[in-house]
A and B are shown apart, each in its own frame.
Chain A
């Protein structure tokens, strides 16, 4: 076998079978540059080879959907000729190695995905997971990631309006940094990546190309080990001011009709952007790599093709429009270079110093990308734990104070005060509420945005946990009065080559799919991050959902703060006292056990639609979803936000601690000045509501607990994070 003998020793992360496929496609040995291109295009990060077969099962369509998955970001119609364009993306591996730049460039990358499509970004969100607070690296990682997210978003001038953060030892060696951007565009000015047409100029704009980030996509497709710190050179460095210039220049050029196709250079840089454009346009592209603007001397073709230098775009222009485009980019002091042309060969040809450096047929490079049906085993079901099987606290009030000060439930103010969450002047609902509310500039409409996932539920039951992630983000958007439109998802899991991990992926996708269908919130974009393991220890399965909803009239919205004294407090939805997998059980009663709360999607839909309708009817003065920590935490949040107490005098028919801290789904706490009208409307809608008390006073009084002053709740809520970050 002379062929086998000629194999390179390093297949760059490709398998032997994959290499055989490459030999078939090429009809010869690939050279080093060509093999590099196959390696990144067929990496897990770029090809979704382990997840694709399951991702295809997700609902992606609906009358509101203008563009589903497959482009740079998803697009939904928000009326009046406008569209919301959004996506969430992970930057987990780089953020663990170099937290500031890893997180910053995560924000930069997702911003580009959105403005590539013609949208002006109007909001950033994030979902973060860190290791145990006791782990020696955690404080450094929290500080660096938060500073990096803020540093990029603040400088480019897009508000970071919310997100979520959890701490768990399972993330000690693999933190998660998922960044989401939402933008707004005119529906008749949306830009896609298909380079249709031949003889068109291929144009490079933005920053120069350096050696940073080479093989970043490959790094993101492998497990970590103790030597991962040595991968620091594969992390990119962000330049948010250049991105601001690139944003303005792109939007200025997009106002003309000179652009045929545009694609940002993200993971795998010039390789994936050029292949994507050629493949979607069913054309060939020849590029002269000598013409790529370079930051340093002596760069080789494979470095130019694999560099993940930030703040770069590739465009295909209409012929003859180069000068007009060049003038715009030069005004913004950005590089502009015509580096190639489209043709009808359907091949990617790279020229370097007058010779062919690579020549690859595009359709098989894309279509023959491996797709695996990896073996999987379903996560075994756990037993249902009744409310009485979880010990009660001596004093529920003391338990509430302990829980509200804990790492997972305490105030995130220390984080969001480092993000400019008000720039652009449209942040109506600031961080700390259920969903952020961002006004559509110059209108009375707003977008409601939330990111959510409860990894301990997903670990216990991937199907129910997958449903719950969708349901909770849908519920958070609903609690503001907005109507959820669609979601973006970020699937963070361990090594898919292990059947039990693959089983988590399969289950979570099944649950998400069912929930998206039942809640009319299709998946329009997303990202998959696998191999989140260090030395064989996987993260908790963390399929994050980012939900975007539309509020037609900002006059018909609800916040979570108690609004006025003497108003009736209701729980919407049924409370059975489900303590399995609750925060109470985990932190106060010996650890996470049993089955997580089931998600009844029909009930979720009915209860949510009723709450939204009541907000629109003006019957609701405050509204908050019930999630981590149960009713007690929800009530405390509302009291702290309103600086007002409440007397909760309801006599639950179940164990009090289960009633207070149970995490039954599909529930909201609502206040109203019209209890009779509210009850009548609920009855008519077939939605169970229970009046549990009345707002007023300076203390929150819970069943079986003495009054707790709202001030002491606030102090406990605000204490932990700043003290933790200031300690050494």
Chain B
């Protein structure tokens, strides 16, 4: 996009004028209370919520996804992995939506391989919320096996309906546990994450 990203301090209360907001992975505030819970209440998040609600594309990855659910931008919660253990490995994802600025570089039903690295990625909602997520096509990615099937073995954390990433109803906020940024370089073992960033750059330049 020809512009350097700006880092914003958690204690700030104003956001510069930006085209895209990314809430990255990490262990915000150590995740000591509950993953993402304290970060969701940091001063800067009030402004992030306002901008996202006003339409600025907003992407939350891993801990960022947890923060976006904790601050109410996305439905559902991320519970402790079903294994109760941290899991770091490459997973296969089925692309469920291609009509968003994040995913239009992929094809419908395409299987992409990118890693997860989390302790709390077990997506859960009540049945009504799940139904509305499905009805509104808010699921962006699901864990699948290499043949595109949604098996239990392919699910690294016990997520409901193998959900790996969800959108808000407007489609401008995406949260996902897997890390597209970690496999966007052939030296690191894969490039399936790269189309997300080239697609975003194209969509935002348009």
Residues of A within 8 A of B (CB): 147, 150-151, 154-157, 239-242, 244, 416-423, 425-428, 430, 439, 554
The answer to whether B86 touches A150, judged by C-beta atoms less than 8 angstroms apart, is yes
Ordered by A's residue number, 21 sampled pairs between the chains whose C-beta atoms are within 8 Å are A154-B117, A154-B119, A155-B27, A155-B30, A155-B31, A156-B27, A239-B30, A240-B27, A241-B31, A241-B32, A244-B30, A417-B87, A418-B87, A418-B88, A420-B88, A422-B115, A422-B179, A425-B182, A425-B185, A427-B188, A430-B189
The answer to whether B31 touches A423, judged by C-beta atoms less than 8 angstroms apart, is no
Q: Which of A416, A418, A422 contacts B182 (CB 8 A)?
A: A422
The answer to whether A554 touches B187, judged by C-beta atoms less than 8 angstroms apart, is yes
Question: Which residues of B45-103 have CB atoms within 8 Å of chain A's CB atoms?
Answer: 85-89
| Residue with the highest number of chain B CB atoms closer than 10 Å, among A417, A421, A427 | A417
User: In the docked arrangement, what's the CA distance between A175 and B115, Å?
Assistant: 32
Q: Which of B26, B32, B87, B88 contacts A157 (CB 8 A)?
A: B26
Given contacts A241-B32, A422-B188, 13 further A-B contacts (CB under 8 A): A150-B86, A155-B27, A157-B26, A244-B27, A417-B88, A417-B89, A418-B87, A420-B88, A422-B117, A423-B25, A423-B117, A430-B189, A439-B187
The answer to whether B88 touches A241, judged by C-beta atoms less than 8 angstroms apart, is no
The answer to whether A241 touches B29, judged by C-beta atoms less than 8 angstroms apart, is yes
CB-nearest residue of chain B to A555:
B187
Interface residues on B, range: 20 to 34
CB-nearest residue of chain A to B185:
A425
Q: Does more than half of chain B's interface fall in helix, strand or loop, or is it mixed? A: mixed
Residues on B with C-beta less than 8 A from A150 are 86
User: In the docked arrangement, what's the CA distance between A147 and B182, Å?
Assistant: 23
8 pairs of A and B residues whose beta carbons are closest in the complex: A241-B30, A155-B27, A420-B117, A418-B86, A420-B88, A417-B89, A150-B86, A422-B182
The answer to whether B30 touches A428, judged by C-beta atoms less than 8 angstroms apart, is no
User: In the docked arrangement, what's the CA distance between A417 and B26, Å?
Assistant: 17
Cβ of B145 under 8 Å from chain A:
no
The answer to whether B31 touches A425, judged by C-beta atoms less than 8 angstroms apart, is no
User: In the docked arrangement, what's the CA distance between A155 and B63, Å?
Assistant: 11
Residues on B with C-beta less than 8 A from A418 are 85-88
CB distance from A59 to the nearest CB of B (A): 34
Residues on A with C-beta less than 8 A from B32 are 241
User: In the docked arrangement, what's the CA distance between A419 and B29, Å?
Assistant: 19
The answer to whether B27 touches A157, judged by C-beta atoms less than 8 angstroms apart, is yes
The answer to whether B88 touches A421, judged by C-beta atoms less than 8 angstroms apart, is yes
User: In the docked arrangement, what's the CA distance between A650 and B195, Å?
Assistant: 47
CB distance from B80 to the nearest CB of A (A): 13
CB distance from B133 to the nearest CB of A (A): 28
User: In the docked arrangement, what's the CA distance between A239 and B31, Å?
Assistant: 11
Cβ of B181 under 8 Å from chain A:
yes
CB-nearest residue of chain B to A416:
B88
CB-nearest residue of chain A to B184:
A425
Question: Which residues of B1-38 have CB atoms within 8 Å of chain A's CB atoms?
Answer: 25-27, 29-32
Residues on B with C-beta less than 8 A from A439 are 187
Residues on B with C-beta less than 8 A from A151 are 86
CB distance from B187 to the nearest CB of A (A): 5
CB distance from A16 to the nearest CB of B (A): 47
Q: Which of B27, B89, B115 contacts A154 (CB 8 A)?
A: B27
CB-nearest residue of chain B to A156:
B27
Contact with A along B174-188 (1 / 0, CB 8 A): 000001011001011
Residues on A with C-beta less than 8 A from B89 are 417
User: In the docked arrangement, what's the CA distance between A624 and B187, Å?
Assistant: 20
CB-nearest residue of chain B to A444:
B187
CB-nearest residue of chain A to B181:
A425
Q: Which of B27, B117, B188 contacts A428 (CB 8 A)?
A: B188
| Residue with the highest number of chain A CB atoms closer than 10 Å, among B31, B85, B179 | B85
Q: Which of B25, B27, B117 contacts A241 (CB 8 A)?
A: B27
The answer to whether A422 touches B88, judged by C-beta atoms less than 8 angstroms apart, is yes
User: In the docked arrangement, what's the CA distance between A244 and B32, Å?
Assistant: 14
The answer to whether B86 touches A420, judged by C-beta atoms less than 8 angstroms apart, is yes
CB-nearest residue of chain B to A425:
B182
Residues on A with C-beta less than 8 A from B87 are 417-418
CB-nearest residue of chain B to A157:
B26
CB-nearest residue of chain B to A419:
B88
User: In the docked arrangement, what's the CA distance between A554 and B189, Å?
Assistant: 13
Residues on B with C-beta less than 8 A from A241 are 27, 29-32
Contact with A along B124-149 (1 / 0, CB 8 A): 00000000000000000000000000
Residues on B with C-beta less than 8 A from A422 are 88, 115, 117, 179, 182, 188
